[in-house]
Structure 1
Amino acid sequence: MKKRFSVISSLVVGLSLLVTACGSGGSGGSSTGAGGDGAAPAEEQGKRIALVMRQNVGTFSAQYINGVKAEVERNGGQLTVFNADTDLSKMASNLDAAVNQNFDGILIDHGTAEALQQGTQKAVDKNIPVVLFDTDIDIPGVPVVEQDDQKLAELSLEKMAEDIGGQGNIVKIWVAGFAPMEKRQITYEAFLKKYPDIKEIAAFGSATNNTALDTQSQMEAILRQYPNKGDITAVWAAWDEFAKGATRAIQQAGRTEIKVYGIDLSDEDLQLMQEADSPWKATAAVDPSNIGRVHAETVFKLINGEQVPDKVQLNPVLVKQDDLPTDKKVTMGDLSEYVTEWGK
């Protein structure tokens, strides 16, 4: 997750779908081209696109990458993924490598202005089109694709308030330093003021290469600290990796009276939500595959000289456990059959 952007005109896109993963790499990246197994010359493979990522963690990232890959291949291009494994200095080096290698377009996922402003400006100076996702860089002519993060938070928080009757003790799982997280926190602070009978009794969160597992361990410690039924009413998780970890900890502890509310969605998340007695009650999301597709589509528009708004904003949808059938497993590919807003 990372930082984002400015506004001139907003393109609102509602979304849905899915896929799997692409490899990750260091400063050399990993590539996948439209030419299949053949080693066709670069000029025959079309435009070379670099995807510079802060991290590739979980099924959300996997489906996002596949959305990017599908759109690049649809345009006859070749994708190279640069994964920084959460290291912002490595991410900056990867961006410099992409610029120095004269890629035809650069996609930046979850970067920060502090780490990447200089490299992004270098790309712009070399007339390399750059498109951001969840990144807070503000440079004229560099558009940002973003989810409506405050709406994501609002949808999940309001559903939680409704389900717990506007009162109770909650745990927040959140981490600073990511643009989308910071925006979600603004909504969360306003939420606590709106519902004074909802009390935050614990807060934690860290973004690592094993976020879900680390969250599970931390949530287990919280459950030991608050061992009695009724001590904790609900958990609000500002990222699906957090929600996965919290859900598993609650299930293993047999504390499924505690309700979980999250942000983001993947096939793995849907499976967890559909498990018997799952505490994960709702999540607000935009389809990650479509985020990837729109991100890549936008850079090709720039490459082709088309006008692109400063902000391309994707509308979120609330997916509730009650929306899902109990007699079959739902994937994101058929989620629109059960959540009518999904995919519109």
Structure 2
Amino acid sequence: MGTTLRRGRMWGILTAILCFSIIISACGIKSAGQTTAGSEAGKTQTTAPANNQEENKDDKVKDLKGKRIALVMELNTGTFSQQYAEGVKEEVERFGGELTVFVAERDKSKMATYVNMAVNQKFDGILTDHGTPEALTKGIKKAQENNIPVVAFDALLDIPGVTVLEQGDEKMAELTLEQLAADAGGKGNIVKIWVAGFAPMERRQTAYAAFQQKYPEIKEIAAFGAASSSTALDTQAKMEAILKQYPNKGDITAVWAAWDEFAKGASRAIKQAGRDEIKVYGIDMSDEDLQMLQDPTSPWIATAAVDPKDIGRVQARYLYQKLYGEKTEDRVVLEPIFVQRDDLPKDKQVSTNELGQYVQGWSGSKQGEKEWMKLYKYK
């Protein structure tokens, strides 16, 4: 009888365990480490990579600090170039990097040498300012072979993987030329100051050629221009000679200057000659340019430009995108802003840092900014 009772109890326990197991299976409960088919397996597989991606992302952000960046400039003439370089430096420092600037002083072969030097010295990234394909291509391809990212500004480059920034040069020329035509009533005699051999100048010339077709009654009576270590002074001397060649009021309606250094030189010559009937329309903007634009006695009355500091900042951002491991577009066009004297205050002098208060869209560009960059603060 005792044996029978023990057997009955054992069968009862086994039956209870079996029922409990069936209930557990029906509810879909699994123990740690167990995998199941369907949605639960999918969740397990997608969660781990997401966490790994987040960890890798944090590692990349940390790795950006301490990068050595080379800026290779064809020239560093005038306040525009200086403010551009300041913008690059500001952004590189924001990311905790170290900037070294190489200036080729318009020597194309020296510029090529500097790019090669940056590669040989194992800089982490290279920025270029102006230059020609002949001067830059070989060194840039060598940089790519060494996994050194490159971002160029104002160069006619077409190298896959190299991001090239430009200012929207045709648009800048159109903005100033259309204002000139409107102020002149669609007719008159003008002087063009321009120089070949630079990517932005070639694009601006394209717009100028279209302007000539559109306004046949606006005649070009003189054209000159050269880039040198003293561009503004050389332009001033040449403009003085042209004023003597056309001494009467009405001989010259306006001057179109395709570079701010040209506009500065021409404006000084016109002002000193007392030819206040001649107006100057320029391209580019710096603090020095803005002072002349605000001066009611200056013939320079309008310009189109991108904040030079913004150009430097945006260029550096695209380089750091590459250093972060992101793919960037090969061509980036910066949107220019039209600035004329009538937009500016008459009771105080303003700087380019304050210009955005009076001209919508000036400075503070967020182009090239990424969400992860918010981790880096400006000094």
CA distance in 2, matches of 1:196, 1:145: 33
Task: Report the CA distance between 1:136 and its aligned residue.
Answer: 1.0
Tell me by how many angstroms 1:338 deviates: 1.3
Separation of aligned partners in 2, 1:44 and 1:125: 20
Q: Distance in 2 between matches of 1:229 and 1:160?
A: 17
What TM-score results when the alignment is normalised by the length of structure 1?
A: 0.86
> Is contact 2:65-2:95 (8 Å) kept?
no
1:114 is displaced (CA, Å) by 1.2
Aligned to 1:240: 260
Which residue does the alignment assign to 2:281?
261
Out of 97, 103, 111, the position equivalent to 1:77 is 97
Specify which structure has the higher proportion of helix: 2
Matched, 1:167 2:187: yes
2-side partners of 1:106 and 1:44: how far apart?
14
1:281 Cα deviation after fit: 1.1
Distance 2:263 2:169 in 1: 16
- Matched to 1:135, the amino acid is A
Counterpart for residue 223 of structure 1: 243
Q: Distance in 2 between matches of 1:201 and 1:293?
A: 39
Greater strand proportion: 1
CA–CA distance in structure 2, aligned partners of residues 92 and 255 of structure 1: 44
For structure 2, the residue ranges without an aligned partner over 5 or more in a row are: 1-62, 366-379
Residue of structure 2 equivalent to 1:307? 327
Is the radius of gyration larger for structure 1 or structure 2? 2
Q: 3-state DSSP class of the match of 1:340?
A: coil
Asked whether the 8 Å contact 2:191–2:255 carries over to 1, the reply is yes
Q: Which runs of 5+ in 1 are unaligned?
A: 1-42
Which has the higher relative contact order, 1 or 2, with Cα contacts under 8 A spaced 6 or more apart? 1
Question: Runs of 4+ in structure 1 displaced over 3 angstroms?
Answer: none
Deviations along 1:153-200, whole A, 9 cap, x unmatched?
Answer: 000100110111110000000000000000000100010010000000
Match of 1:108 in 2: 128
Q: How does 1:22-41 map to 2 (within 5 A)?
A: none
| Residues 45 and 78, structure 1, Cα contact 8 Å, conserved in 2 | no
CA drift of 1:102 comes to: 0.8
Q: Which residue of 1 aligns with 2:106?
A: 86
Q: Aligned-pair RMSD on alpha carbons?
A: 1.2
Q: Do residues 55 (structure 1) and 75 (structure 2) align?
A: yes
Partner of residue 119, structure 2: 99
Per the TM alignment, residue 132 of structure 1 is displaced from its structure 2 partner at its CA by 0.6
Aligned to 1:188: 208
- CA distance in 1: counterparts of 2:91 and 2:287, whole angstroms: 20
Alignment correspondent of 1:202: 222
Give the letter for the 1:52 counterpart: V
Separation in 1 of the partners of 2:348 and 2:277?
24
1:327 corresponds in structure 2 to 347
